[in-house]
Homo-oligomer: A and B are copies of this chain.
Amino acid sequence: MNLTTKGKYAVTAALDLAMQQTIADGFTKISDVAKRQDIPASYLEQIFSRLRKAGILHAARGPNGGFKLSKQRDEVMIGEIITAVERNMDATQCSGEGICNSGTKCIAHNFWIDFNDNVNEFLMSRSLDDVITNRRGSVEQTGQALIATG
């Protein structure tokens, strides 16, 4: 399981975009987000690139360009953001393949599956809007699983 600076920056930056869209409806520049949230701009480029490819953000080039959310802020789940940028959020030793002890499931396998489910549910039940308004998960889990649960 990896939860790194990249994932945390991604969430922070997405929250920033969501908040900016409440103020004005246009695109927000990487450099502005970077400055406000204290994130290295060139690193944030990489992160936004991934979020765009995952369909979470929409980009526009040129003057007045930048990024905006593809959906409403109550429709974007934190879990989506994290899986889009993190290498691996799975907690099983075998990446869910059940081969953790010389080809068979290790004795902790089901425990880590449960752990995955728990993290999954937490991250997929909280939208950007929930976090901004300090709610603790109000929207139903809708889509696909964040982590393969074997």
Q: Which stretch (A41-49, A65-73, A118-126) binds chain B?
A: A118-126
| Contact in complex: A12, B119 (CB < 8 Å) | no
- CB–CB B108/A15 < 8 A: yes
Which residues of B are found within 8 Å of A5, using beta-carbon distances?
Answer: 93
Listed residue (A8, A112, A122) with the most chain B CB atoms within 10 angstroms of its CB: A8
Known pairs A37-B101, A38-B101, A111-B11; A3 contacts B118 (CB<8 A): no
* Interface residues in chain A, defined as those with a beta carbon under 8 Å from any beta carbon in chain B: 1-3, 5, 8, 11-12, 15-16, 19, 37-38, 78, 91, 93, 100-102, 106-108, 110-112, 114-115, 118-119, 122-123, 126, 131-132, 134, 136
Other than A15-B108, A37-B106, A110-B131, give 18 A-B pairs with Cβ distance below 8 A.
A1-B2, A1-B3, A2-B2, A8-B91, A8-B93, A11-B111, A12-B107, A16-B107, A37-B101, A37-B107, A38-B100, A38-B101, A78-B111, A107-B131, A111-B126, A114-B136, A115-B122, A118-B119
- What would be 13 A-B contacts, judged by CB atoms less than 8 Å apart? A1-B1, A8-B93, A8-B108, A12-B106, A19-B107, A37-B101, A37-B106, A37-B107, A38-B101, A110-B131, A114-B136, A118-B118, A118-B119
